[in-house]
Structure 1
Amino acid sequence: MSTPTPTPTPVTALARRWRLEINMGTAETPDWQLCPGITEFQWTAPPNHEDSTSYDTDGWTENTKTSQSWEVVSTFNRKTTKDATAYSAVHEKIRLAAFAYDDAHEVHLRFMDRNGLPEAYEGRGLPAWEPQGGEATALDQVQTTFTGSGPLTPITNPLTGGGA
């Protein structure tokens, strides 16, 4: 009689598992760089369902997915060089895009489980830049909301070693 293999005890995933990266290059030659200093991260991708019930359903409601939207909200501590002469290049790209128009207002981003689990997504979003202010002892924080422009695509997590 063989000894049964013990089942591992599951552990709860932590909210800080998310890693946000911004493409600092082009679509043809991406240069993915970490958005540093994130203190909060939430994302949603709610579908739009429309009632498609007909007489043929014997009184049961039917629904049809007609569209989907997505949004990423992150708060981060502003980062500067040690001599305080420049901000993080990634933070600056987001800030400048928030004040731009047309294609310059769109940011190519991806986010993934930093532990290498399979959950990872990529898309283009329109950023809002919202400094959080605070008292004299507060950190300089900014909340950014990326409103999806086009699809949010599940990708292979680049941190698993398989590439994206």
Structure 2
Amino acid sequence: MKVLVVSDNHGQTDVLEQLKARHQDDVEHFIHCGDSELPFNSKEMEGFDGVRGNCDFDSDYPLQLIKEVNDNRFFITHGHLHQVKSSLMPIKYVAQEEEANIVCFGHSHIAGAEYTGGILFVNPGSISLPRMTRHKTYAIIEETNLDFFVHYYNEKGERLSSHTFNK
């Protein structure tokens, strides 16, 4: 399984089209964690399972999504309603209630991944306005029988880092 996760493009459209073109043949699923600032039915958001962030005003976006990909249950949200800037505990509780084993969220504009309590938490950072780094980032989650890998890339598709988590 390979899933691309992006967040917080804040109205920039070209980068979403570039991501889809670059990875159309090597990922199974595209996730957008909110603050696209684009209409739900825009051509740029086509192909993404997206949620509404605090800067999105199109109410056609759901505030959260549950998505099954292979044997994984994804909980997708922006994070602003779960206080992700201060703690992962509120979002962890929701993930447990939803029986999700992967949580994708944005909002903080800070890329990071953590595996705790059988749940993988992934924030892809921001593809347009990064914080704590100069790199505009997105992530690809890859799963094997034994491990999760979270690979971070810059907007040009250059790999910046990878993290391995034993399941």
Structure with larger Rg? 1
TM bin, normalised by shorter chain, reads: under 0.3
* TM-score (normalised: structure 1): 0.23
